[in-house]
Amino acid sequence: MNLPGKEGTIIKGYSGFYYVLSEGTIFTCSLRGKFRQKKMEQTFLPGDRVVISLLEGDKGVIEEVLPRKNELLRPTIANVDQALLVFSLTSPDPDFALIDRLLLFTIEEQIEPILIWTKSDLATEECIEKAKESFVQGQIKQVIVSAETMNGIEAVKNLLRQRITVLAGPSGAGKSSLLNALQPGLALKTGEVSKKTGRGRHTTRHVELLHLSFDALVADTPGFSTLNLPALTAPQLGELFPEIVDLMGQCRFNSCLHRTEPDCAVQEAVEKGLIHQRRYESYLLFLEELINQDRRK
Ligand code: GDP
Ligand code: ZN
């Protein structure tokens, strides 16, 4: 007998069962036999969209997996829509070079980055100005928040709703506190999110999507724990800087790497302040890193 299927999202897999969120309810699902026979179990990830048929109660069977739009390796999650890059305005001071590196990773994975500046209650006007000015207006979404005063928390909720989100950022930046502010009672100890990144020898971690009450799914482990640049060619690097993409085709040379070439639209934009000086310096630094990697091969 074929019951009408329901579409849902896997939020975690555990001991052969998959927990599938569909229309606000979590169904405990087993796999249709065809998936087990083909040893396809590993290909089911949190974030995968599936079609389930319902059994009694809140049990079901996964009948079908829908195509993935992307697959993040750390944490291993499918269909990630966006990454919140969480950095504190102060204590500790933001590491802008690290922000640029994380932006590169997210854009490379085709995940939308959103910069979340935390601890606004501790920050001076000067810190806030410096953070806001770290990108030329409009190039990257930014929100200023405080888990202490709840400043900006509603805005973050609106960004998370109906999307799959990973958090990234250094330990101590306020990721756990942010999650607790978004959903009081989530009972994450502060520091807990970051501790899970430690890849202990014996840990078989089960990555999980947290289902927050305002219809949001957030990975319980932070993303992008490696800082090595992805495998790119030098020309591909520019494609990962939105500022440079905007100027595509405007340099004299098609093969321009925007370093010392004449009539380079990127160098001109930096001089005019249309591209932030620090962003350009990060670009040059990454470029050198890629070229050195190539030489070592
Ligand atoms: P994580 O390592 O990124 O998960 O950071 P935590 O959430 O554990 O926060 C690190 C420290 O910063 C903790 O002592 C928090 O209490 C503190 N903290 C986090 N967010 C805020 C905030 O908005 N305001 C203030 N004053 N402290 C915060
Ligand atoms: Zn150029």
Closest ligand 1 atom, CA of 180? 7
At 132 the pLDDT is 86
Most confident of 32-41, 99-108, 131-140: 99-108
Task: Name the residue at shortest CA distance from atom 10 of ligand 1.
Answer: 172
d(CA 245, CA 135): 15
Q: Is the CB of 180 under 6 A from ligand 1?
A: no
pLDDT digits (tens, 9 = 90+) for 250-269: 999 999 999 999 999 999 99
**How many whole angstroms from 110 Cα to the centroid of ligand 1?**
28
Is residue 142 predicted with pLDDT exceeding 80? yes
Q: What percent of the chain has pLDDT over 90?
A: 72
What is the band of 243 on the pLDDT scale with cuts at 50, 70, 90?
very high
At 199 the pLDDT is 42
What is the band of 201 on the pLDDT scale with cuts at 50, 70, 90?
very low
The ligand minimizing its distance to the Cα of 181 is 1
**Preceding omega of 184 cis (within 30 degrees of 0):** no
d(CA 237, CA 215): 35
Q: How many CB atoms lie within 10 A of CB 20?
A: 27
Helix (H, G, I), strand (E, B) or coil at 181: helix
At 159 the pLDDT is 98
Is residue 234 predicted with pLDDT exceeding 70? yes
**The model scores a pTM over 0.80:** yes
At 137 the pLDDT is 67
At 35 the pLDDT is 81
For residues 182-194, give the mean pLDDT.
65
ipTM of this complex: 0.99
Q: Is the CB of 265 under 6 A from ligand 1?
A: no
For residues 196-215, give the mean pLDDT.
68
Helix (H, G, I), strand (E, B) or coil at 127: helix
The ligand minimizing its distance to the Cα of 86 is 1
At 194 the pLDDT is 43
Q: In this structure, what are the phi and psi dihedrals at residue 241, rounded to the nearest 5 degrees?
A: -110, 105
User: Can you state the angle between helices 153-160 and 175-182, rounded to 10 degrees?
Assistant: 80
pLDDT digits (tens, 9 = 90+) for 153-163: 999 999 999 99
* C-alpha closest to that of 28 among 4, 63, 61: 61
At 203 the pLDDT is 44
For residues 111-120, give the mean pLDDT.
96
Task: Name the residue at shortest CA distance from atom 19 of ligand 1.
Answer: 174
Is residue 85 predicted with pLDDT exceeding 70? yes
| Residue bearing the bigger pLDDT, 102 or 191 | 102
d(CA 283, CA 258): 9
